[in-house]
Structure 1
């Protein structure tokens, strides 16, 4: 339970180091988007890469070559999804969710809250975390495609062009 053997420890160090270097190189080649977590697919890739690294480190049944192949496959799939969603805007609707305005001009958008399974209390919390104690000072609170809440104060709404749906 506490210790199996020195060869097992050595395997973890050697294969783990090689897997780590491989992952870093693949991430550098594949670009920033691979770990960008801009939407649910990006998050899945991030989690899968971490899980794959852990499996390579701890499982004797997975070789470095198999792990490197898995890293490459995940990065390539992410690259493909990013490319498709950029070149064909129609596919973006299938691949990513749309942002949702949950509060507009200090008033809750109840249908949007309900359809996104959020509560007014969660919107108030986001406002407080952004330093606002008065919802009337907010132009909008938006649920982004990555699940984060963006709080936009009245004095920074400008022409509202950032709220336009593509």
Structure 2
């Protein structure tokens, strides 16, 4: 094997030690920053949160492997990402228009025994996925389900007939092509 090939496999102990030390310190720093920032920094992810999580991983990898990035620069970059995520969640909680801009709206895809085909198509959810979600919630018959909602992060929530009310559906969207007549009963039935 030539010298270039050997250098690709092992380039000396200094880079190895640097990766071990900076990797450990940056990892501890990231865990501390996430712990300080609170549970919502990496809660169940929507698309925006996924981008931030990928950025965390990319920054951590850069700190560990790039000799051009110092520990202080890397930790500062991680801290900046945490700060931006805190600002984002702060704004989203206080300003509904901002939240609507950055987060998807939950969508009704099954209601009163009916698959809402247009909503399912728009959300790219198959009938089999809805039925699987029902089974995962211990429901054997679709007729035992009042509603299925695809949440902002992509999970499916199943509301069974034995639920006391459907008030949680007040802000759930539905495709304009799907029948809204049956859905109108949601607010009426939830007020009883």
TM-score for both structures, normalised by structure 2: 0.79
- 1:155 is aligned to 2:171: no
The residue that corresponds to 1:15 in the other structure is 22
In structure 2, which of residues 51, 76, 82 is the aligned counterpart of residue 75 of structure 1?
82
Q: Pick the structure with greater CA Rg.
A: 2
Asked if structure 2 preserves the Cα contact closer than 8 Å seen for 1:102 and 1:140, the reply is yes
TM-score for both structures, normalised by structure 1: 0.90
- 1:33 is aligned to 2:40: yes
The residue that corresponds to 1:165 in the other structure is 171
Shift of 1:60: 2.1
* Counterparts of 1:20 and 1:104, CA distance in 2: 46
* Counterparts of 1:121 and 1:2, CA distance in 2: 48
Give the secondary structure class of the aligned counterpart of 2:154. coil
Gaps of 5+ in 2: 1-7, 173-192
Shift of 1:38: 4.4
Q: Deviations over 1:13-48 (max 9, x none)?
A: 110111011111211222111111342222221222
Gaps of 5+ in 1: none
Shift of 1:128: 2.3
CA RMSD of aligned residues (A): 1.7
Shift of 1:55: 2.2
* Counterparts of 1:97 and 1:15, CA distance in 2: 37
